[in-house]
Amino acid sequence: MLPAIALAQINPTVGDIRGNRQLCRACLDKADDRAEIVVFPEGVLPGYPAQDLLLERGFLRDLDENLKELAAGVDHRWVIVGTVRRGSSDGGRRQLFNTAAVLHDGKIVAYRDKTLLPTYDVFDEARYFTPADSIEPITFTLASGERLRVGLQICEDLWDTGYDIKVSNRLGEQGIDLFINISASPFRSGSFAERRDLIRAQVKQWGKPFVYCNLVGGQDELVFDGRSMVVSGEGALVRTGAAFQEELIVAVPEGKPEAGAETALRREVELAAAIKLGLRDYFVKTGHARAVVGLSGGIDSSVVATLAAQALGPQQVTGIAMPTTYSSSHSLEDAETLAKALGIHFKVLPIENLRTALLEALAPFFTGTEPGVAEENLQARIRGNLLMAVANKQGALLLTTGNKTELALGYATLYGDMCGALAPIGDLSKTEVYAVARHLNMEAGRSLIPRRVLAKTPSAELKPDQVDPFDYELVSPLVDELVINRAGRAELLAQGYEEELIRRIRGLTVTSEYKRRQAAPVIRVTGKAFGVGRRYPIVNRYEPIGKR
């Protein structure tokens, strides 16, 4: 008979080794004693990803010490903890392993190292780690005297499609009673179903139960969504951990499917929940409570303000409108209506006279020139300066309101509307921003975001009668094809996009790389976000389309 297993789906903080150990300790105290195996996620002790902290000797020493201290308090249970260990130094070579430490009866009794090291997109594991030397199951002797052979693996070890080594097979072939996978698998839209299907495929092949424990919480750009899984040897999803929340799950990996466990969340529900967690954790973990948002009366800032109000509490959020002569009357009204509906602080800071004063100061350079992008950017940067001043004064963080489509096209002012500590909707296309807005209103049962905001034509309002020079219904999916799917010219033509549009939009995406290099961290919610997972050169003369 299989034992009960506790899955500690918890939210550690990168670098806070001692705090993370205490978090683990608290789970051990709280976990039902029937659970003879307690599983923590990948990298729970250092936090994940700890990045270049792993290159500091002192950090690795502190990890060792804290793991020993955690082990010292472990009773008869078998405790699996994600951490990083130093291997024997091999000819002067630094050897680090991303590992699952097994603690039992006061001691560290074994390690099982990660074999497959993701080095693509946001992952840099080959920068730090050496792959496991060997792949072997581990045997736990239970209180009953029964021996349980466990195929213990770490995150990517399950995602073996692109690799020569098939870790699950190597474990399965050696005869096991159970798979356990500890993960720090970041959220992206649709990832839950992917993980579930990968697990099911292994269960189907080996007829053994599968326990999957995933991290939860935000870390810089990344959001870990939890949703740990316990799957029976018959493929039934017996338990699913909470989405985007900590949970201590205790389950026996057998029996019938849990009601509702299969239900994937709707896309915009997931996106909103992920952003709120990423936003909240960025504030909490950097020691901030208050946020400032510039409210233009447009869809993007309305959605950011709403998400911030829900993630941080409306009293922690200050919305600021900064009209000029180019601002339409509805902009100010809509910003105010939104702020009232959300219950956030709201102030109007007119900037028209500042604009004039700056233009005067610039007379030595501007006199006699045609107004253009310099004048437009000036306004955006006055707003950036005011918003940062308020944030600095309040000890708050400014949120930037750009979406992914704008970031892709460079339709944003560097040091202007791009100012901010974090870009909550920087990985949502314009289309997705609208979908999330509608979801937020629906969920609230009332119009948080005014209807007019959802209906009106997007405009930066930086010059008279300006509207955004893009048909977003056409351009937003095209940008996604270029950025997420890396679609080439032929594929895009086949999808019906016009050559001239492809060339223009691709060109904008390439030439705006310099702006993105200085953009705020974007909370990643899709398979390909701007930021650490997309590494393009600024100097880039590649032109695939058209004339040679």
Q: Phi then psi for 494, rounded to 5 degrees?
A: -65, -30
Residue with Cβ nearer its own copies (36 or 62): 62
Residue 97 interacts with its own copies (CB under 8 A): yes or no: no
Q: How far is the CB of 505 from its own copies (least distance, A)?
A: 15
Q: Is 155 a catalytic residue?
A: yes
List the interface residues with its own copies, window 207-226 (CB under 8 A).
218-220
Residue 315 interacts with its own copies (CB under 8 A): yes or no: no
List 289, 388, 501, 508, residue binding its own copies (CB under 8 A) = 388
Return the amino acid letter for 48. Y
Q: How far is the CB of 17 from its own copies (least distance, A)?
A: 7
Side-chain-side CA neighbours of 306 within 13 Å: the count stands at 30
Nearest to 212 by CA among 226, 191, 233, 193: 226
Q: Please report where in the chains the tokens 């594991």 appear, as a residue.
A: 125
Return the amino acid letter for 348. V
Structure tokens at 100: 């699952």
Residue 390 interacts with its own copies (CB under 8 A): yes or no: yes
Structure tokens at 280: 């909240």
Residue 88 interacts with its own copies (CB under 8 A): yes or no: no
Q: Is 42 a catalytic residue?
A: yes
Structure tokens at 492: 């895009």
List the interface residues with its own copies, window 155-174 (CB under 8 A).
161-164
Residue with Cβ nearer its own copies (211 or 510): 510
Residue 2 interacts with its own copies (CB under 8 A): yes or no: no
Return the amino acid letter for 117. L
Q: Single out the catalytic residue among 114, 276, 285, 430.
A: 114
List 77, 196, 208, 381, residue binding its own copies (CB under 8 A) = 381
Q: How far is the CB of 481 from its own copies (least distance, A)?
A: 13
List 169, 189, 245, 377, residue binding its own copies (CB under 8 A) = 377
List the interface residues with its own copies, window 24-63 (CB under 8 A).
47, 49-53, 55-59, 62
Side-chain-side CA neighbours of 250 within 13 Å: the count stands at 12
* Residues 251-270: b if buried by 16+ CB within 10 A, e if exposed: bbbeeebeeebeeebeebeb
Q: Phi then psi for 110, rounded to 5 degrees?
A: -165, 165
Residue 127 interacts with its own copies (CB under 8 A): yes or no: yes
Torsion angle, alpha carbons of 331, 333, 337, 338, to 10: 10
Site string for its own copies, 484-513 (x = CB under 8 A): --x-xx------------------------
Q: Is 114 a catalytic residue?
A: yes
Q: Single out the catalytic residue among 27, 36, 42, 276.
A: 42
Nearest to 85 by CA among 77, 73, 94, 76: 94
| Residues known to be catalytic | 42, 114, 155
